[in-house]
Amino acid sequence: MMLAVLATAFMFPSCTKDTTNDITISLDNNSTFASGAAVTGTITSTTDLTSVTILTVNGTNQDTYYIISDFKASSQIVQSGTTYTVRLTGKPGVDTNLPDGTYQLTATDKNANISSRTFTVGSGSVTPGNTPLSAVQSFGLGRPDQAAAGYPASSNGITWSTNPTTTTARFTGSFVMLTSTEYSAITTQEALATAYTAGTTSASFDLTASPNFTAKYFIVKDGTTYRLVKATSCTFSYDAGTGIASNKANFDEQH
């Protein structure tokens, strides 16, 4: 009987842990890089990655700096089979190389598995005057008496106050209006704060609803946070069938 039990035990293979979803991040130089140097290393993942996110780290605060998701077009994360070659040179169109500071690289695969690695450039402290703005975030506002999902009357220091005319919306807060050139030139938190302090503040501005909307640019002071904002659209619509009016405005924000 004992021999039969032993024989049966040897007939079944042992189970092993499934590790097909592992993501391994290996950065060179013990994850410490000189000022102005490219951040290099590799990521291996048996499941295709969907994105690699670079975040700035300041104490306990983390902000998304930029995201790479097109590994065929990017020269910073290049895929070859299960290996991704890393050569980070900063936010496209903004940096020549990553500014001095502490960062986190986070890789996500198509099964939502995540792996992260912290690294430093230069001293690991953000160089004064060089703290990058957060990634662009979009939000919407709606007329106060027309509440709609995703379109509150107030957000990020901006409040939809009134409609002075049938095609105009008025917003209140503490603003410094900018030209498109001034807006594009602001790429750091320090430059954003300086531009607000040096500018002329106003308590309101108007947007005109139009299919050919002209973008408007400004800084808003939201509590202790300065936000760089672009108004991207303003639409007034009316459904004759339901009798429902809908006034909405959309914005892009960095801070």
Note the pLDDT tens digit of each residue in 191-219. Answer: 898 899 999 999 999 999 998 999 999 99
Cα(223)–Cα(158) distance, integer angstroms? 11
Contact 70, 102 (CB under 8 A): no
More confidently predicted of 151 and 241: 151
| 43: Cβ contacts below 8 Å, ≥ 6 apart | 23, 24, 25, 26, 49, 52, 77, 83, 84, 86, 107, 115
Global confidence as pTM: 0.55
pLDDT over 80 (residue 60): no
Tokens of 217: 């640019």
CA atoms within 13 A on the CB side of 5: 2
Q: What percent of the chain has pLDDT over 70?
A: 88
SS3 27: strand
Range list of H helices, the chain: 2-10, 180-185, 189-198
Contact 101, 59 (CB under 8 A): no
Please say whether the structural domain 23-121 has been given the CATH code 2.60.40.1930: yes
Contact 217, 229 (CB under 8 A): yes
Question: Which region among 19-23, 80-84, 100-104, 107-111 has the lowest average model confidence (pLDDT)?
Answer: 19-23
Which residue is it, tokens 């986190």?
104
Query: How many Cβ atoms sit within 10 Å of the Cβ of residue 212?
Result: 4
Q: Confidence band (pLDDT; 50, 70, 90) for 31?
A: very high
**Arithmetic mean of pLDDT over the chain:** 86
Mean pLDDT for the stretch of residues 115-132 = 80
Tokens of 50: 């969907």
SS3 190: helix
Query: Residue 65: what residue type?
Result: Y
pLDDT over 70 (residue 19): no
Question: What single string gives the DSSP state of each residue in 200-243?
Answer: -EEEEEEEE--TTPPPEEEEEEETTEEEEEEEEEEEEEEETTTT
Q: What are the residue ranges spanned by the domains of the chain? A: 23-121, 137-254
pLDDT over 70 (residue 159): yes
DSSP 165: E
The 10 Å CB-count burial string (b at 16+, else e) for 63-90 is bebbebeebeeeebbeeeeeebebebeb
CA nearest neighbour of 238 among 151, 143, 164: 143
What are the tens digits of pLDDT across the range 68-83?
A: 999 989 999 999 999 9
